Amino acid sequence: MNVADRIRNSNIQVHNREAPVYDAAHPEIFGRFEQQRIAKDIDLIASLIATRSCVRVLDIGCGTGNLALKFLNRGYHVRAVDISSQMIEVLRSKVDLTALHRIEFIVSDAADIMTDTRTYGTWDVIAFSSVLHHLPDYQTVLSFCLRQLRPGGILYVCHEPLPGSTEEKRFGLSLVIRMLDRADNIYIYARKLFVYLVQSLRNRKLFSRIDYSWSDYHAKIGINADEVIRQLESEGAKTLLYETYRSHFASVLTWLDWFLGLPQHSQFRFIMQRHPDDASRSAG
């Protein structure tokens, strides 16, 4: 089995197991600060496509619906794609019956969806939330996004890990950062222990520890966002928003980090737009 196949298979196994507890086990995504950022981003995206009718959104790695449900609530039509069938089932259970006709559920690999020539130039928005670091080759997938988008369409990426900082810091500042990170690690360990215990009692079966080493393949190294953006800009995209920030599992630590204005950001997000006059790329 090659590396790419091992990453894909691990993602299927990990996310099928994690699906029932995903929302509770990931407060860094579903916490107040991250959700406020996403809400503001979607407001911006909505303003950019306000003149379009029957907006079509492709949510890659939709998970339990962090983005898909928000776009659905805007009245958009959503294709929700995930490699995990169990994640799709959790999302399906959250969708209001009155909105079911506007959402399509697809169990598939991201690369297969993005390289489908039949859908070139058909999407108004393509979105990724905490997905790129799970993909064997996220750069190629992102490049194909521009083919899949309609001219003027929007590419949205949020909550992705940056490479670790190598900057020299004052001793006091470095100590504060280490203390916050240590407290955050203790918090998430305790939280996941509680979540897994509850799930074990509910199912009357021990919920064993999940190994993320292959599924989160790029998480430890991080993603060079500047390099990704330069690549997409060279292929005809325009950057509308790019922000790095520090993210914690515990909301109170995220607030404290923001209040202190600490450096060494850990996450990034961006919004990019395919050039409105670029009709050649979708033709292949």
Which helix (H) or strand (E) segment is 241 a member of?
A: strand 237-245
* Whether residue 220 has pLDDT greater than 70: yes
Q: Report if residue 162 sits inside a domain.
A: yes
Q: Which among 101, 83, 105 has a CA at the least distance from the CA of 11?
A: 83
For the segment 239-279, what is each residue's pLDDT rounded down to a tens digit?
999 999 999 999 999 999 888 888 889 999 999 999 987 76
Q: What is the pLDDT of residue 209?
A: 82
Residue at 28 is within a domain: yes
232 has pLDDT over 70: yes
284 domain-assigned: no
Please state, in angstroms and as integers, the Cα–Cα distance from residue 146 to each residue in 44, 124, 134, 201, following that order: 19, 11, 20, 46
For 269, half-sphere exposure in the C-beta direction (CA atoms, 13 angstrom radius) is: 19
Residue 129, token pair as written in the block: 């939330």
Which residue type is seen at 127? A
Q: Does 282 reside within a domain?
A: no
Residue 149: closest CA among 117, 121, 127: 121
DSSP characters over 80-130: EEES-HHHHHHHHHHS-GGGGGGEEEEE--HHHHHT-GGGTT-EEEEEEES
CATH, residue 136 = 3.40.50.150
Backbone angles phi, psi at 106, to 5 degrees: -130, 125
How much is the pTM?
A: 0.94
Q: Is residue 138 part of a domain?
A: yes
Q: Residue type at 34?
A: E
User: Across the chain, what does the average pLDDT equal?
Assistant: 93
Task: Provide the pLDDT for residue 168.
Answer: 47
Rounded to the nearest 10 degrees, how much is the dihedral formed by the CA atoms of 225, 255, 174, 187? -100
Q: How far apart are the first and last CA of the chain?
A: 31
Residue 282 has pLDDT above 80, yes or no: no
Q: Which residues of 166-185 are buried (b: 16+ CB within 10 A; e: fewer)?
A: eeeeeeeeeebbeebbebbe
Position 44 scores a pLDDT of: 98
Q: What radius of gyration do the chain's Cα atoms show?
A: 19
| The pair of three-digit structure tokens given for residue 149, joined into one six-digit string | 């988008």
Residue 283 lies in a domain: no
Q: Tell me what the mean pLDDT of segment 67-90 comes to.
A: 98
Which pLDDT score, from 0 to 100, does residue 262 have? 85
What confidence tens digit (pLDDT) does each residue in 155-208 have?
Answer: 999 999 999 864 545 556 788 888 999 999 999 999 999 999 999 999 999 888
What domain count does the chain have? Answer: 1
pLDDT (mean) for 45-69: 97
- Considering only residues 284 and 9, tell me which one the structure prediction assigns the higher pLDDT: 9
Q: Is 73 exposed, middle or buried (0-12, 13-18, 19+ CB in 10 A)?
A: exposed
pLDDT on residue 208? 84
Residue 263, amino acid: P
Strand-pairing partners, residue 208, are none
Q: What residue numbers bound the domain in which 82 lies? A: 3-276
Residues listed for the chain: 284
